[in-house]
Chains A and B, each alone.
Chain A
Amino acid sequence: MTDTLLRLNGVRVELDRGSTTIPLVREATLEVGRGEIVCLVGESGSGKSVTARTIMGLTQLDAAMRVSGTASFDGTDLFALPPVQMRRLRGRELAMVFQEPLSSLDPVFGVEFQLREALRRRERLSRTAERARLRECLAEVGIHDGDRVLRSHPHELSGGMCQRVMIAMALLARPRLLIADEPTTALDVTIQAQILELIDRLRTEEGMAVLLVTHDMGVAAELADRIVVMYSGRVVETAPPQEVLAHPAHPYTAGLLGSIPPMRGPRPQMLPTIGGSVPDPSRVPDGCAFHPRCPRAAAECSEQSPAFVPLTGGAVACWHPLVEESV
């Protein structure tokens, strides 16, 4: 694909614990095209957040983290950039929205101050022009009493309102890639839909690409141009949503679908809901990490890690995928 904005290849993130290193992300390989929404899905503990923060260069701020592989953003190798230049990309080319809106704003500063900080990363305006720009941006995210919100402190706002402010803050960067890490998990169901709709609309209006992290297959199926499934620190399947829904290739993907309410379209082949949970990064099983939980596991599954092989519109890492490999 020529119009790729972000390409991760074999990204690995390890936590250096002195005597041992713990792999938090073992192999993240994915692409995000310009203006595309890519959903990164997987159970909690799969390494989605670590992957997202690594793209932003945030993981690397922790001296105990070791990052390898390549992350190419519009032709720039992010991992090769000096920290100063990586910082300059944040808040301009790259922006991020987090899972916990209430704790993601500094509690002692007002909303206006924090939004101004973000705006000034992008452009220098007069104070009145700044204020107008902030009000305009808040209106874009559906906040119409902008003046009141600007005067507020984070604790005076609801979770949904804080998340809108966070999104507005990310938009002030006018990023080419927005990374949203479970932006609605902490919110009420009704607010969730509004926020997701907002992200989808802004993607269209601003033409920015979105990497949306979620553990909800339903959300992914609804919004994504492409779904990336992650398990135990590894990307195990990527495919367009209609492919994933109709023919999930990895048994884990099928399991995720089986554990969500029925969707539009043909109901996918079901597996009995997957028992157990994601292994701790310090005790990842040999071979395919999913094999102890996999109903289709065979001898080789516990011995060797399956390679990532191409498939119609995507790829899968599995010894015994649920569909024929097209090659």
Chain B
Amino acid sequence: MVHVVLTRLLAAVPTLLGVMVILFITLRLLPGDPTAAMLGGAEATPETIAALEAQFGLDRPVGEQFLMFMGDVLTLDLGTSYATRQPVGVMISQQIGHTLQLAGAAAVISAVAGIVLGSLAAIRRDGWLDAGIRVLSLVNTAMPSFWLGLLLIMAFAFGLGWFPATGTGSLAHLILPAVTLGLSAAGTVTRIVRNSVLEVLGENYVTALHAKGLRARTVVAVHVLRNAVIPTVTVVGIQLGALVAGSVIVETVFTRQGIGQTLVQAINGQDYPVIQGVVLVIAVIYVAINIVVDISYSAIDPRVRATVAR
């Protein structure tokens, strides 16, 4: 098991390196001038600008800048924000809790909604419930999360007044953003679970389980679901990664604190170190989730457990 995790971690290094190279180059190819953002619109002499560029190493060739950046990353130093002059690591660690809370809650919502609705649709195949769930999941997948977020704000914050529209902190603040983000992934999970359950329902062992005289409920809840979940774990895992990335949009809609907000502000201010730091952290989370997904396979499926042990 340890061996598996180590191999996966090593395999992740080129991925992370690739992400950072592309990001680094793209940022520097895009038009704009980070020193203008640092100055916050104040007038400055060419000497001041040159001094700033020298201070942050922006006068060096891009290749050299990249090597310096990667060297710092290896010592867990993500650099200093141009705008706030705070260490990027500190900024992220102050914000990441909010984002993980949001993504975690959204993951639970999307998994529960997807598994419940997906298996209901499969069991009631071709009935009205199935038709309804299928239409709903299609609409849901097609609907951008910012739009869904605005609809929820209008209905539950402005209309009914149940939850605050914006802000961070309490459980009440978390609910609308988490539902928005969770539902953005629920449609996909529902469809995968439905197909997967349908496939399992056609298996010989399901007939054999009925032949044992087990309740239909037991057959589905104990046997069919566990078998059907295996192929959905990958998709849910990918969705989880997407949720962390998707929180950027949702945090903006709900003006909620988190690394998404931090990232948006950094992009507006051309704050390279912050952009790089946040993207690197998101990429690392992505990779970590993938490894966890791989490990969870062997927890669910004894056939995988056997090959992993070997």
What is the interface of chain A, defined by CB distance below 8 A to chain B?
53, 56, 58, 61, 87-92, 95-96, 98, 100, 103-110, 117-118, 121, 153, 155-156, 166, 169, 173
Contacts and interface: CB of A to CB of B under 8 A. Distances in A.
Interface string B276-310: 00000000000000000000000011110010000
B302 A106 contact: no
Contacts of A155: 302-303, 306
Residue from the set B207, B212, B216 with the largest chain A CB neighbour count within 10 Å: B212
B211 A110 contact: no
Interface in B191-208: 203-205, 207-208
Contacts of B207: 53, 58, 98, 104
Contacts of A96: 208, 211
A91 B226 CA distance: 22
B227 interface: yes
Given A87-B215, A108-B227, A156 B209 contact: no
A206 B227 CA distance: 35
A139 B299 CA distance: 31
A108 B211 contact: no
Interface in B6-53: none
A90 B204 contact: no
A110 B302 CA distance: 9
B302 A107 contact: yes
B210 interface: yes
B224 to A, nearest CB: 9
Contact of B302 (A53, A88, A117, A153): A153
Contacts of B213: 87-92, 121, 173
Interface residues of B, number: 22
Closest 7 CB pairs of A and B: A91-B213, A90-B213, A103-B204, A153-B302, A104-B208, A96-B211, A91-B212
Task: Classify the interface of chain A: helix, strand, loop or mixed.
Answer: mixed
Contact of B214 (A53, A56, A98, A117): A117
20 contacts: A58-B210, A87-B216, A91-B211, A91-B212, A91-B213, A103-B203, A104-B207, A107-B205, A108-B226, A108-B227, A108-B230, A108-B300, A108-B302, A117-B212, A118-B212, A153-B303, A153-B306, A155-B303, A173-B212, A173-B213
A109 to B, nearest CB: 7
B134 interface: no
B173 interface: no
A107 B303 contact: yes
B299 to A, nearest CB: 11
A109 B227 CA distance: 10
B306 A156 contact: yes
Nearest to B223: A106
B232 to A, nearest CB: 14
A56 B213 CA distance: 10
B4 to A, nearest CB: 19
B121 to A, nearest CB: 15
A61 B205 CA distance: 14
Nearest to B209: A106
A153 B301 CA distance: 10
Nearest to B206: A106
A108 B302 CA distance: 6
A40 to B, nearest CB: 17
B301 A108 contact: yes
A106 B205 CA distance: 6
A91 B300 CA distance: 27
Contacts of B223: 106, 108-109
Contact of A91 (B203, B214, B216, B227): B214
A98 B208 contact: yes
Contacts of B203: 103
Contacts of B230: 108
Nearest to A83: B216
Contacts of A91: 211-214
A56 B230 CA distance: 30
Given A108-B227, A108-B300, A155-B306, A90 B205 contact: no
Contacts of A107: 205, 227, 301-303
Nearest to A109: B223
Nearest to A86: B213
Given A106-B227, A108-B302, A58 B211 contact: yes
A301 to B, nearest CB: 37
Nearest to B305: A153
Given A87-B213, A100-B204, 15 more contacts: A91-B212, A92-B213, A95-B212, A98-B207, A98-B211, A104-B207, A107-B205, A107-B301, A108-B223, A108-B226, A108-B230, A117-B212, A121-B214, A153-B302, A153-B303
Contacts of B209: 106
Contacts of A153: 302-303, 306
A104 B210 contact: no
B170 to A, nearest CB: 41
Contact of B210 (A61, A88, A105, A109): A61
Nearest to B218: A117
Residue from the set A56, A61, A106, A107 with the largest chain B CB neighbour count within 10 Å: A106
A169 B214 CA distance: 13
A8 to B, nearest CB: 18
A110 to B, nearest CB: 7
Given A108-B226, A108-B227, A155-B303, A56 B211 contact: yes
A254 B227 CA distance: 46
B129 to A, nearest CB: 14
Nearest to B300: A108
Given A100-B204, A105-B205, A153-B303, A121 B210 contact: no
Given A58-B207, A100-B204, A107-B205, A90 B212 contact: yes
